[in-house]
Each structure stands twice: as C-alpha cells, then as structure tokens.
Amino acid sequence: MSLRDQDEGEVVDAEVVDADGALVLVAEPPAQPRVDHNTVLYPGQAIPTTADPSTQYTERDLYVSDETRKILEETDPTDSGPMRAFKDWCAEQGRVAVPCTTATFTEYGRHLMQRGLKVSTIKNYMSLIKTAMPPGKKPDNSLYLRLLANYRKNNKRALRTRQAFPLTLPYVVPMMEKAEADGRPIGIRDAAMFAFGYRFLGRSIEDADVMIEDLTVLDDRVVVWVAQDKTHKDEDQTIPLRDRPDIQLVRRMRRWLECLASHGITTGPVFRHLLKNGVPATEETRAKTATKRGTHLRGHVVNERVKHWFAKAGLVGDGRPITSHGLRAGGATDLAENGATDQELEDAGRWAKGSNIPRKVYVRPAQAAKSDPFAKVPVHAPGTSKGEKDR
C-alpha cells in the first residue's frame, strides 16, 4: 500500500516492510536518563530513564555527596513522628503514603478525628503530613477541612486547650532542692535544667538545644547566645539571665558544667543524656543507641524529669498536666502576678510581636485571680442572718 495519501500529502497509516512485503521490526531507541535540572540522587541510586530525553546529564550533575545525604536524611520531613504514624496507618490500609492521594489524606484526617484528638493537634499533624509530600504532589486539603469544621462544631471538648500547670517559685524551688539532695549527676543536671528553664523562659526544645559554647557564666548572671528560636528565625540574640537568691542559677549551672568538664566534656549540649552509670553521654558513647537528637535530651525525657521531681518533692497540682512547659509557664505566671506588662512578658518570653498569648494566658488570669467581685460581700457570721434579726 502507499505510504502517503496522494490528495493530502500526509502520512495517514504506515508499516515498515521489506521488498517482499514482510513486516520489519524496528528496534526502539535505547533508554536514556529521565532527569532534569532539579533531579537529586543519593550515592548508589540508579538514574531513572526514558526513551525521549530533552537534555543529557551525567552522574556529576545528579549526585550529592555522602555528607550532604546525611544532613538531608537527618532533616527528612517524611521521618517526623506524625509522618511515621501516617505511614503505618497507610500500610495497614493498603494505601500509598508518599505521595498520598487527596482521598488518603482526607481519610486520615477523619481517622485522627475518630481518635478524639484536639483540633489544634489534628491541624498540626495534617500540616506536617502535607508539607512532607514532594513538590507538585501535595494533596488538596479542602475536603479534610470540611470534615474538620464539622468536627469542631460537634465536638466542643476537642477545642479545649489545657494549659500546663505553671511551675512557679513555690514549686520549682522545692523541685530543685530535692534534685540536688539526690547527690548524683542526674540530680545536679536536673536542678540546673529547672533553674535555667524557669529563668530563660524558653520553650522546652530551646532549653534542650542550648550548647556549652553558647553560654557565658558570670558571677551575677548567665549570658546565653541563641542562634534562632520559633519567632526569630533569621535573628540571633544575646540574652542575659540575671541570677536570683532563690533560683541560684549561676551556682547550679557552674556545678553542672564542672561535672561535665570532669568527664572531658567542654562543648556540645549542656543538658544531655546520662549513661546508666551516671556518666554524661558523648557522641562516641551514645553512638550505638543515639536517635537523631544524639546526646541532646529529647522532649519526653525532660517531661519525665519534671514529673519525677514534682512528685518526689511531695507537690500537688490542680489537675492541669505537669510538663516541662510548666517551667516557661511558671516564670511567665510569676511575672504576670507581680505586675509585669504585656510588653515585658512578650520580651522576656520572646513571643512574636503583637502576640496575644502573654495577655490571654498569663496577664488576664493573674488579674482575674486578684479581682474577685464577691470580695465586696461581707463574710457571713452565725447569728447575723436577716431572718434571725427579724425574729
């Protein structure tokens, strides 16, 4: 048959045949690298291929070094706690976790709601999961947000935020004294950590991330250099923490730093893990069991230490959770109850400019506690009731 339509001059149908009319099989072109300028491969990964490359690249263009790979793997957003839970759930459900579909994303949101989690917790988890998806393959969250709106409407308790019990001076001082009386390195560390946490007004992770080389201990204060925090992403800060007779920050920090130095530790995390024999962990001794936090204390460990010494000191709360955040809450509460302004609290706790947290969480409750309208009502005494007077 003719290869071309004689009227139109276009190829409309064709097969390659030889002179005898037998079909000739034409070999497909060899597979070529399927990459573009954004492709990044770890050492050992194969180059994806396609039969129609637009640009030719070599391995030199595609691979990162082992050092870069290590950093990227340690900061992998798909390896967070919420993402690990999401992957486990997807495996149980027979769904693909990364990149996930909008249906899977939406269904997982409903799964979290069925567990009765707080709205703020659900929003945080779902945001982390969406962020962890590859660029251009993030799920649509509009359906999940519709479910969340319904959840908020029908589960008012899920909106309740329970603040941590504030570890004010009447609580944190006995905790530190009890820890120091223990006499072991763990007690010395914990007492210094509580004094620092209360006075620094830091978030728990900020306390645990402080490095020895970022501290300057003077006779009347401890100076802390902070590379960044939650509200100062691109701004370092130098913060002087003046000592107090009740907190004894300088003495307690010096005692702990001397303990570290006696084991040859003069750099790295201040508040670090201890081995079973009480010796402070180093990168070498912690290597076999270390998590991504390395020798740094993890958040749940700090919480456990706070709960431990709170109970050991014979203290009783009011039903609110006892957590490491109570150190930050305790310092802020003491400031608010003693007349600190919104601005002073904002600066001391390094909240974002204009944040309503200092006023809403600390100042207003402190003012409300001092302003009781029933204080105007005379205290009733037996024999003074109106009915008795009339008789």
For residue 7, the model assigns a pLDDT of 45
What b/e readout covers 320-333, taking b as 16+ CB neighbours within 10 angstroms? eebbbbbbbbbbbb
What 3 state SS string does the chain have? CCCCCCCCCCCCCCCCECCCCCECCCCCCCCEECCCCCCCECCCCCCCEECCCCCCCCHHHHECCHHHHHHHHHCCHHHCHHHHHHHHHHHHHCCCCCCCCHHHHHHHHHHHHHCCCCHHHHHHHHHHHHHHCCCCCCCCCHHHHHHHHHHHHHCHHHHCCCCCCCCCHHHHHHHHHHHHHCCCHHHHHHHHHHHHHHHHCCCHHHHHHCEHHHEEECCCEEEEEECCECCECCCCEEEEEECCCCCCHHHHHHHHHHHHHCCCCCCCECCECECCCCCECCHHHHCCCCCCCCCECCHHHHHHHHHHHHHHCCCCCCCCCCCCHHHHHHHHHHHHHCCCCHHHHHHHHCCCCCCCHHHHHHHHHHHHHHCCHHHHCCCCCCCCCHHHHHC
Which tens digits make up the pLDDT trace of 102-151? 999 999 999 999 998 888 889 999 999 999 998 889 999 999 999 999 99
Tokens for 169? Answer: 């001076």
**Residue in the structure block whose two tokens are 């459900």:** 93
Spell out the domains of the chain, with CATH numbers in brackets. Answer: 76-159 (1.10.150.130), 169-368 (1.10.443.10)
For residue 6, the model assigns a pLDDT of 43
pLDDT along the chain (391 residues), means of 10: 44 52 54 67 74 61 84 74 91 94 95 89 92 90 94 76 84 96 92 94 85 94 82 76 94 95 92 86 65 74 92 90 89 87 83 77 72 81 62 53
**Residue in the structure block whose two tokens are 């506690």:** 369
Give just the sign of the alpha carbon dihedral 159, 164, 168, 171: positive
For residue 51, the model assigns a pLDDT of 44
For residue 9, the model assigns a pLDDT of 47
Distance of alpha carbon 378 from its chain centroid, rounded? 50
For residue 363, the model assigns a pLDDT of 72
For residue 16, the model assigns a pLDDT of 52
